[in-house]
Structure 1
Amino acid sequence: QIAQGMEHLAEQRVVHRDLAARHVLVLGFDKDDLRRTSVKVAGFGRAIDLADGTDATVAGRGLPVRYMPPESMKKGRCSEKSDVWAFGVTCWEILTLGKTPYSNMTDDTVIRYVCGGGRLPREDIEGGCPDEVWALIESCWSTSEEDRPTF
């Protein structure tokens, strides 16, 4: 449902720029039938309309660097593909039952680590992770924007 919500934003040419588990609302949770669970994407304070282009710039303090891809960290560029990166981090957060991404690092260290090819570890996922799910998450973190999936 998160991917579907993000797909809708991408179709409307809106980049969220702050997708994270903290911006996913659980409207109904049914532990007996997970198909009846309903979630919605929220937290649009950093969202931007790309009506006139394919990417935008991001600058300023308080940026969500733990959810940003290298091109956003280095060049300040954001696009659907930067939201895809954040989707991978959000999936990791959910699968780790709410761990903070790169919790043992400062923001500056996260920037150097991610730009140097570092990624969040699969080992932190509670109870393991199916190979096909991990492959999808890893594809969201491809260094090359073009190699990341779309929503």
Structure 2
Amino acid sequence: MEQIAQGMEHLAEQRVVHRDLAARHVLVMGFDKEDVGRTSVKVAGYGRAGELVDGSDGRVAGRGLPVRYMPPESMQRGRCSEKSDVWAYGVTCWEILTSGMTPYYPMTDPTVIGYVCGGGRLPREHLLGGCPDGLWALLESCWATREEDRPRF
């Protein structure tokens, strides 16, 4: 998770918004089950990425949007920024901590939109083996309703 955050921090420094961060777009390189510290990961899947120009946010539109990874402002107004990627990072970490559960399963995408825009968030009880309070607090901060209340990478 730390390496994903570092990769996303680099994109943010370059003023690039990924717009589709999810576990499916994280490549595991050189996995070492004896020493997981030697495993490295890379952020991939840049099909929806875009450069931020003349302002602090971009737009997302079209079909097949990754609504399960999108914050309310992206769902409601199509706004994308580093802070929308931070939201997706929190969802990606949740995916990792649940060994790949689908976020908001078994809800449909329209139900997810209503749930998230109404203040609903992913549940802690699905995390395998528990979750340290500090890590859970980080995930919750990634899902803050107001963009300015979310951390930076």
TM-score above 0.5: yes
| Residue 36 of structure 1 pairs with residue 38 of structure 2 | yes
Supply the distance in 2 between the matched residues of 1:104 and 1:128 (Cα, whole angstroms). Answer: 22
**What is the identity, as a one-letter code, of the residue corresponding to 1:131?**
D
User: How far did 1:29 drift?
Assistant: 1.3
1:52 Cα deviation from its structure 2 partner: 2.1
Separation in 2, partners of 1:74, 1:114? 11
Q: 1:116 — aligned with what?
A: 118
**1:66-99: per-residue Cα shift (whole Å, max 9, x none)?**
0000000000000000000000000000000000
Among 131, 139, 143, the alignment partner of 2:133 is 131
Q: 1:72 aligns with which of 70, 74, 79?
A: 74
- How far 1:33 moved relative to its partner? 1.6
Task: Report the 3-state secondary structure (helix = DSSP H, G, I; strand = E; otherwise coil) of the residue aligned with 1:110.
Answer: helix
Deviation at 1:51, TM superposition (A): 2.8
User: What residue ranges of structure 1 are gaps of 5+ in the alignment?
Assistant: none
| Deviation for aligned residue 1:129 | 0.6
Count of matched residue pairs? 151
- Name which of 26, 46, 49 aligns with 2:48: 46
Mapping 1:54-69, distance limit 5 Å: 54-69=56-71
CA distance in structure 2 between the aligned counterparts of 1:52 and 1:6, rounded to whole angstroms: 21
Aligned-pair identity (%): 81
* Residue identity opposite 1:72 in structure 2: S
* TM-score (norm: length of structure 2): 0.97
Return the letter of the residue paired with 1:88: G
Relative to the length of structure 1, the TM-score reads: 0.98
State the 4+ residue runs in structure 1 displaced beyond 4 angstroms. Answer: none
